[in-house]
């Protein structure tokens, strides 16, 4: 009887303890899906998935180069000693501006030849006049007059040649050869300093001047991509010093010679260069694009994409602040658009601003 009472008391005590524990234990809270607040929803950009013409995109590397059609290499036409170099590398020069002076014995010889020719003209002219007077007096024959006339004509011809030679070489009478710029542009190469001796048989140019209003970009195309690049394809070029700027142009020429070492073919692109931002020898990243005729794929703004765990996602908006995370396959990206192969349908609405913030909230 006593043992039965003890068992009842024990069971009652255990019930009270269990009941007490149950009252103090926290209740399970169900996780609710994130709903975009109205304040944020009003600021969001929501874009419709649509079909766009398929564009093939090839990414290349290359280098900015001079426009060789607007580049001038300057040589000295005479031998001598360079004096008074007036420009430095990178200077802008105008057409006709003096770049340097060459002290030259050849120039002294040219000016001396002209002086001799002028003296000879004066002497033969006096001889011709005297012979004509003698002919009128009957003291000279017509042959004497003809000979005097020939000598005078030859002297004038020699003078004209001396003048032309001197003009070609700068028209200086004091033995100086003046080197002038033939075009407007920048000094992009300078191979001379004061007291440099120059010779006409030396093939090293003194200066190179280039008009950098437009430049060439030499892009490298590997064998596997040669067939995907065509003359006239649209091109976007970016450089490291100004990554926010996009320079647009077209493929101007494909050089049909394969470099045996690098195994690439050079593709030339002509670009306008406002503000001279593009400078020769700068590295460039190039995107060549050409549309596939009759082929359309789905596209979305780049801002709609979220990249995590080696995959791309978009947020498909369902209305009333609800959005679903949807994985997508990206074919390629060009400009502000990304081309998709699967994951969404035409007409779906995707969030194209603050996507990463909303993606994180939905994941949490």
Sorted by where each begins, the domain ranges of the chain are 41-54+295-363, 59-67+211-294, 74-101+178-210, 105-174
**Percent of the chain beyond pLDDT 90?**
35
Predicted pLDDT of residue 23: 47
Predicted pLDDT of residue 103: 86
- Give the tens place of pLDDT for each residue, 235-279: 999 999 888 888 999 999 998 888 888 889 999 999 999 888 998
Predicted pLDDT of residue 30: 54
Task: Determine the average pLDDT of the residues in 25-30.
Answer: 49
Residue 43 C-alpha from the chain's centroid: 38
**If we measure between CA atoms, which residue out of 192, 209, 215 comes closest to residue 93?**
209
User: What CATH number was assigned to the domain covering residues 41-54+295-363?
Assistant: 2.40.420.20
- Give the tens place of pLDDT for each residue, 161-183: 888 877 776 666 777 888 889 99
User: What CATH number was assigned to the domain covering residues 59-67+211-294?
Assistant: 2.40.30.170
- Give the tens place of pLDDT for each residue, 274-297: 888 998 899 999 999 887 777 888
Cα distance between residue 342 and residue 51, in whole Å:
12
Instruction: Indicate if the pLDDT at residue 83 is higher than 70.
Output: yes
Instruction: Indicate if the pLDDT at residue 66 is higher than 70.
Output: yes
Query: What average pLDDT is seen over the chain?
Result: 85
Predicted pLDDT of residue 33: 79
Instruction: Indicate if the pLDDT at residue 56 is higher than 90.
Output: no
- Give the tens place of pLDDT for each residue, 89-107: 989 999 989 999 888 877 7
Predicted pLDDT of residue 25: 46
Predicted pLDDT of residue 48: 93
Task: Determine the average pLDDT of the residues in 319-332.
Answer: 90
Cβ contacts of residue 289 below 8 Å, gap of 6+?
Answer: 55, 56, 57, 58, 233, 234, 235, 236, 334
261: number of Cβ within 10 Å: 6
What is the pLDDT confidence band of residue 2, given thresholds at 50, 70 and 90? Answer: very low
What is the pLDDT confidence band of residue 199, given thresholds at 50, 70 and 90? Answer: confident
Question: Residue 76 has which token pair?
Answer: 């000295």
Find out if CATH 1.10.287 is the number for domain 105-174.
yes
**Do 59-67+211-294 and 74-101+178-210 have matching folds?**
no
Predicted pLDDT of residue 244: 84
- The residue with tokens 């057409």 is 95
Predicted pLDDT of residue 28: 47
**Percent of the chain beyond pLDDT 70?**
90
**If we measure between CA atoms, which residue out of 183, 182, 239 comes closest to residue 211?**
183
Predicted pLDDT of residue 251: 92
**If we measure between CA atoms, which residue out of 65, 64, 55 comes closest to residue 228?**
55
Fold of domain 74-101+178-210: OB fold (Dihydrolipoamide Acetyltransferase, E2P) (2.40.50)
Whether the predicted model's global pTM rises above the 0.85 cut: no
- Give the tens place of pLDDT for each residue, 114-130: 788 889 889 999 998 98
Cα distance between residue 214 and residue 276, in whole Å:
8
Radius of gyration of the chain (CA): 43
Ranking 1-15, 23-37, 42-56, 223-237 by mean pLDDT, the lowest is: 1-15
């Amino acid at each position: 009887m006593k043992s039965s009472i003890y068992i009842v008391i024990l069971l009652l005590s255990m019930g009270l303890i269990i009941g007490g524990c149950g009252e103090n234990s926290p209740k399970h809270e169900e996780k609710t899906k994130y709903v975009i607040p109205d304040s944020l929803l009003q600021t969001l950009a929501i874009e419709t998935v649509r079909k766009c013409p398929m564009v093939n995109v090839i990414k290349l590397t290359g280098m900015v180069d001079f426009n060789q059609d607007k580049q001038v290499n300057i040589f000295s036409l005479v031998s001598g000693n360079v004096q008074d170099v007036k420009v430095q590398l990178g200077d802008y020069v105008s057409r006709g501006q003096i770049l340097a002076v060459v002290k030259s014995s050849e120039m002294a010889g040219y000016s001396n030849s002209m002086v001799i020719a002028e003296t000879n003209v004066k002497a033969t002219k006096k001889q011709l006049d005297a012979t004509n007077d003698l002919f009128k007096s009957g003291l000279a024959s017509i042959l004497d007059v003809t000979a005097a006339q020939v000598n005078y004509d030859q002297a004038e011809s020699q003078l004209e040649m001396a003048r032309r030679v001197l003009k070609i070489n700068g028209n200086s009478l004091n033995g100086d050869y003046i080197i002038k710029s033939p075009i407007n542009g920048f000094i992009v190469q300078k191979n001379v300093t004061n007291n440099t001796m120059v010779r006409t048989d030396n093939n090293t140019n003194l200066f190179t001047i280039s008009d950098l209003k437009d430049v060439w970009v030499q892009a490298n195309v590997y064998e596997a991509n040669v067939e995907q690049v065509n003359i006239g394809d649209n091109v976007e070029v970016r450089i490291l010093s100004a990554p926010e700027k996009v320079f647009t142009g077209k493929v101007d020429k494909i050089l049909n010679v394969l470099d045996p070492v690098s195994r690439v073919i050079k593709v030339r692109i002509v670009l306008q260069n406002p503000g001279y931002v593009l400078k020769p020898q700068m590295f460039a990243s190039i995107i060549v694009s050409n549309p596939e005729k009759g082929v359309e794929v789905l596209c979305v703004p780049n801002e709609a994409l979220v990249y995590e765990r080696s995959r791309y996602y978009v947020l498909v908006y369902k209305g009333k602040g609800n959005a679903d995370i949807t994985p997508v396959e990206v074919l390629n990206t060009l400009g502000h658009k990304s081309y998709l192969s699967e994951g969404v349908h035409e007409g779906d609405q995707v969030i194209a601003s603050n996507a990463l913030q909303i993606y994180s909230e939905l994941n949490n």
